[in-house]
Protein backbone atom coordinates (compact mmCIF):
# COMPACT_ATOMS: atom_id res chain seq x y z
CA UNK A 1 0.00 0.00 0.00
CA UNK A 2 1.09 3.56 -0.68
CA UNK A 3 -0.11 6.64 1.19
CA UNK A 4 0.31 10.19 -0.10
CA UNK A 5 -0.82 13.34 1.68
CA UNK A 6 -1.08 16.44 -0.50
CA UNK A 7 -1.22 19.96 0.94
CA UNK A 8 -2.26 21.79 -2.22
CA UNK A 9 -0.97 25.16 -1.06
CA UNK A 10 -2.74 28.49 -0.99
CA UNK A 11 -6.21 26.97 -1.53
CA UNK A 12 -5.78 25.28 1.85
CA UNK A 13 -7.22 21.95 0.71
CA UNK A 14 -5.74 18.71 1.99
CA UNK A 15 -6.01 15.40 0.15
CA UNK A 16 -5.25 11.91 1.47
CA UNK A 17 -4.58 9.19 -1.08
CA UNK A 18 -4.26 5.46 -0.38
CA UNK A 19 -3.38 3.12 -3.22
CA UNK A 20 -3.45 -0.65 -2.82
CA UNK A 21 -2.35 -3.16 -5.44
CA UNK A 22 -4.30 -6.38 -5.86
CA UNK A 23 -1.01 -8.16 -6.60
CA UNK A 24 -1.66 -7.91 -10.32
CA UNK A 25 -2.12 -4.87 -12.49
CA UNK A 26 -5.06 -3.23 -10.70
CA UNK A 27 -4.61 -0.56 -8.03
CA UNK A 28 -7.54 0.39 -5.79
CA UNK A 29 -7.65 4.06 -4.83
CA UNK A 30 -9.14 5.66 -1.74
CA UNK A 31 -9.01 9.45 -2.13
CA UNK A 32 -10.43 11.82 0.49
CA UNK A 33 -10.19 15.57 -0.04
CA UNK A 34 -11.47 18.85 1.35
CA UNK A 35 -11.65 20.06 -2.27
CA UNK A 36 -15.01 19.42 -3.97
CA UNK A 37 -13.32 19.13 -7.38
CA UNK A 38 -10.84 16.50 -6.19
CA UNK A 39 -13.66 14.68 -4.42
CA UNK A 40 -15.58 14.55 -7.72
CA UNK A 41 -12.50 13.05 -9.38
CA UNK A 42 -12.26 10.52 -6.52
CA UNK A 43 -15.86 9.41 -7.07
CA UNK A 44 -15.10 8.66 -10.73
CA UNK A 45 -11.52 7.35 -10.46
CA UNK A 46 -11.50 4.45 -7.99
CA UNK A 47 -9.17 1.98 -9.71
CA UNK A 48 -6.18 2.20 -12.01
CA UNK A 49 -4.20 -0.19 -14.17
CA UNK A 50 -0.81 0.60 -12.64
CA UNK A 51 1.61 -0.07 -15.50
CA UNK A 52 -0.73 1.31 -18.16
CA UNK A 53 -1.39 4.52 -16.21
CA UNK A 54 2.22 5.18 -15.22
CA UNK A 55 3.60 4.56 -18.72
CA UNK A 56 0.95 6.58 -20.57
CA UNK A 57 2.25 9.75 -22.26
CA UNK A 58 2.04 12.80 -20.00
CA UNK A 59 -1.49 14.20 -19.92
CA UNK A 60 -3.03 10.98 -21.23
CA UNK A 61 -4.48 7.97 -19.45
CA UNK A 62 -7.59 7.68 -17.32
CA UNK A 63 -6.24 9.74 -14.42
CA UNK A 64 -5.56 12.79 -16.54
CA UNK A 65 -8.82 12.36 -18.48
CA UNK A 66 -10.67 12.50 -15.17
CA UNK A 67 -8.52 15.41 -13.93
CA UNK A 68 -9.28 17.40 -17.10
CA UNK A 69 -12.97 16.89 -16.42
CA UNK A 70 -13.01 17.72 -12.69
CA UNK A 71 -9.95 19.73 -11.62
CA UNK A 72 -10.38 23.46 -12.24
CA UNK A 73 -6.80 24.65 -11.68
CA UNK A 74 -3.97 23.55 -13.99
CA UNK A 75 -1.34 23.83 -11.24
CA UNK A 76 -3.20 21.52 -8.83
CA UNK A 77 -0.63 19.06 -7.43
CA UNK A 78 -3.18 16.38 -6.52
CA UNK A 79 -3.13 14.45 -9.85
CA UNK A 80 0.66 14.12 -9.51
CA UNK A 81 0.18 12.85 -5.96
CA UNK A 82 -2.31 10.26 -7.20
CA UNK A 83 0.14 9.16 -9.91
CA UNK A 84 2.93 8.80 -7.33
CA UNK A 85 0.67 6.66 -5.15
CA UNK A 86 -0.14 4.42 -8.13
CA UNK A 87 3.58 4.09 -8.98
CA UNK A 88 4.55 3.08 -5.46
CA UNK A 89 1.60 0.70 -4.94
CA UNK A 90 2.44 -0.97 -8.27
CA UNK A 91 6.08 -1.44 -7.31
CA UNK A 92 7.19 0.89 -10.11
CA UNK A 93 8.76 3.53 -7.84
CA UNK A 94 10.23 3.80 -4.37
CA UNK A 95 8.34 5.81 -1.76
CA UNK A 96 10.09 9.18 -1.65
CA UNK A 97 8.77 12.63 -0.80
CA UNK A 98 8.38 15.21 -3.55
CA UNK A 99 8.94 18.85 -2.60
CA UNK A 100 8.05 22.09 -4.35
CA UNK A 101 9.23 25.30 -2.73
CA UNK A 102 7.60 28.42 -4.16
CA UNK A 103 9.19 31.82 -3.59
CA UNK A 104 8.64 35.31 -4.91
Q: What number is the average pLDDT over the span 66-95?
A: 96
Parent domain of 36: 2-89
Q: Would 44 be classed as within a structural domain?
A: yes
CA dihedral over 40, 45, 46, 51, signed as positive or negative: negative
Query: Which pLDDT score is estimated for 24?
Result: 82
Position 69 confidence tier, pLDDT thresholds 50, 70, 90: very high
Asked if the structure places residue 96 within a domain, the reply is no
- CATH number, domain of 84, equals 3.90.1010.10
Residue 18 pLDDT level (bands cut at 50, 70, 90): very high
List b or e across 18-54, with b for residues whose CB sees 16 or more CB atoms inside 10 angstroms. ebebeeeeebebebebebebbeebbeebeebbbeebb
Please check whether residue 75 lies inside any domain of the structure: yes
Structurally, how many domains does the chain consist of? 1
Q: Establish if 97 belongs to a structural domain.
A: no
Position 104 in a domain: no
Residue 19 has pLDDT above 90, yes or no: yes
Amino acid sequence: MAKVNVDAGVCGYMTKIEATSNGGTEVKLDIVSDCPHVQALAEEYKTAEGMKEVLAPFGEGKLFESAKKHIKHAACPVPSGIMKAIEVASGLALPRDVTMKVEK
